[in-house]
Amino acid sequence: METLIMLALMLAMAKLLGWVFEKLGQPVVLGQILGGLIIGVFAESNEIIREFSNLGVLLLLFLAGIESDLKEFRRVGKPSIFVAGVGVLFSFILGFLVAYPFVEFHEALLYGAIMTPTSVSITVRVLMELRRLRTREGTTILAAAVVDDVLGILVLTVIISLLREGSIDYRTIAEIIVEVSGFLVIFIYLGPVFAEKAFKRISHIDLPESTTAFAVVFLILFAYMAEHLNLASILGAYMVGLTIGQTSYKKQVEDHVSILGYSLFIPLFFVEVGMRIELSYILHASLFAVLYTIMAIVSKVAGCGFGAYLSGFDLKASLRIGIGMIPRLGVELAMLTIALSSGVIGSEALTIATFMVFVTTISTPPLLKWAYKR
C-alpha cells in the first residue's frame, strides 16, 4: 500500500508541477524533475517504482521512434546528416575531454555519449512563435535532432557494450557494429512489412485495445532482445517505434500508447530521476558540472553550426541551427538511466547531467530569439 501511495503522490506532483512550469513557459519535464527532487527529500524510490520508471524510459524512446519521419529525413537528408553528424562528433569528443580530468576513462566515454543527443521541443516552440518552423533552417533542425538521437543511442549502445565486456578491442567493436547494423537493417527494411501483417491479424482480435497491448508487447520483447545481445534496451525500443511508424497503424498506436505513456509511466520516470538527484549538489554545482554544461552548449553551436555551414548554409543560418540544437532533455536522461542500471557509471552522473539539461533548456529560447533578431 505504501508503494501505491508513493506512486499516486509522484503522479500528482508530476502533473501539478508540470502544469506550473508550462504556465511559466518552461518545459513540463523540468517541473516533473523538480517534483522528484521535492519528494526525494523525505522519501526514497524502491524496486517497484524503478520498474515503473524503466517502462517509462522504454515508452519514451518508443514514441520518439514512432514520431520519426523517414520521408522528412530523405527530403532534407544531406544537410541534416551533416548537422547531426558533425554535432555528435564535436559533442562526444568535447564531452569526453571535459570529463576525463575528473573521472575514470570509461566514465568519460559515457559522459561524451550522454552529451550527444538533442531535444528540440523547446526549439520548436520558439520557432513556432517566430513563424520560422517551416523554413529550411527549421526543417533541418527537426530532422537533424532525430538523426542526433539515433546516433546518440548507437554511440551509447556501443560504449555500454564495450564496457560490459570489460575491455576495448577491435574485434569487440566490430561485433557490436555488426549487431547494431543488423538491428537497423532488419527494423528499417524488413520490420515494417512484418509489422503491417502482424497488426492486421491482431486487429481481428475483438477485445479492447488489442493493438495497443501488442505494441507494448513488441516493445518489451525487442528491448529485452537488445539487452540479450549486449546492446542498450533503448535501441530496441526506439527501433520498434520507428518500424511501427512506417505502417498504416502508426497513428492508432501512437495515439493510444501516448495516453498510456504520458498519463502514467513517462511522468513517473522523470519524477524518479528527480528523486535520485542530490539536492545539495545541484545547489552547489561543482566545477565539473559547470564546465560540462558550458561544453554542452559550445559543442552544439560549434559542431552543428559547422555541419550546417559545410552543407551550404551561410554563417547567420548556421549559427541559428547550432543554437537550435543546444537543448537536451528526455533522451539524455533515458540514456543515463540505462547506463546507471548497467552499473557502468556512478549516480553522481545523474546530478551533473540534470544540471546540464536544466541550463541548456532554459538558455536556448533567449539565445534563439537573439539569433533571429540579429
Q: Is residue 57 part of a domain?
A: no
pLDDT at 280: 67
Phi, psi of 329 (to 5 degrees): -160, -110
Q: Is residue 16 part of a domain?
A: no
317: CB partners within 8 A, 6+ apart: 136, 137, 308
Q: Is residue 3 part of a domain?
A: no
Q: Is residue 63 part of a domain?
A: no
pLDDT of 125 strictly over 80: no
81: CB partners within 8 A, 6+ apart: 144, 147
All three cell numbers of 102, joined, read 575528473
Structural domain for 103, as ranges: 70-264+283-373
For residues 354 and 282, is the Cβ–Cβ distance under 8 A? yes
Percent of the chain scoring above 90 in pLDDT: 28
Chain Cα centroid distance, residue 68:
13
All three cell numbers of 286, joined, read 561543482
Q: Is residue 64 part of a domain?
A: no
Number of domains in the chain: 1
**Dihedral angle of Cα 18, 21, 27, 33, to the nearest 10 degrees:** -50
Q: Is residue 288 part of a domain?
A: yes
All three cell numbers of 164, joined, read 560490459
Q: Is residue 49 part of a domain?
A: no
Other beta carbons within 10 angstroms of residue 26's beta carbon come to 18
Q: Is residue 222 part of a domain?
A: yes
Q: What is the DSSP-derived secondary structure letter of residue 261? A: I
Q: What is the pLDDT of residues 244-288, one digit of tens each?
A: 988 999 999 999 999 999 899 989 988 988 887 766 666 656 788
Q: What is the pLDDT of residues 162-200, one digit of tens each?
A: 777 666 666 766 776 777 777 777 877 888 889 999 999
Q: What is the pLDDT of residues 37-80, one digit of tens each?
A: 889 888 888 888 988 988 988 898 788 778 776 666 666 667 88
For residues 272 and 49, is the Cβ–Cβ distance under 8 A? yes
pLDDT at 371: 87
The CATH number for 118's domain is 1.20.1530.20
